[in-house]
Amino acid sequence: MGESDMNAVEMLQTAEFVVDAHGNKKAVLLDYQVWERLLALLEDWEDAEEIRRLREAGEESVPWEQAKAELRAEGVNV
């Protein structure tokens, strides 16, 4: 199973720990690719939560391509 096939729990289980002389955990080491994948998952979860919150609040949403076109028409470089 590659890192891209792992879920968040499986990715966290690959963590290695740095301990002090007394065996107390002081830091966590993750493979950089696992770290990047975890960050992407967190961003996806945050986006999904924001969409859910906006829907519950009755906010109107538009597709990203439409929003980009509108922003560009206003002179915003996206």
pLDDT digits (tens, 9 = 90+) for 4-63: 678 889 999 999 999 999 999 999 999 999 999 999 999 999 988 988 888 888 877 788
List the domain boundaries for the chain: 3-73
HEC-encoded secondary structure of the chain: CCHHHCCHHHHHCCCEEEECCCCCEEEEECCHHHHHHHHHHHHHHHHHHHHHHHHHCCCCCCCHHHHHHHHHHCCCCC
Sign of the CA dihedral with 54 first, then 60, 65, and 71 last: negative
Nearest to residue 54, comparing CAs of 70, 67, 37, 41? 67
Residue 63 vs residues 12, 51, 69: alpha-carbon distances, Å: 33, 12, 10
Confidence of residue 1 (pLDDT cuts 50, 70, 90): low
pTM above 0.75, yes or no: no
Q: How much is the pLDDT for 2?
A: 59
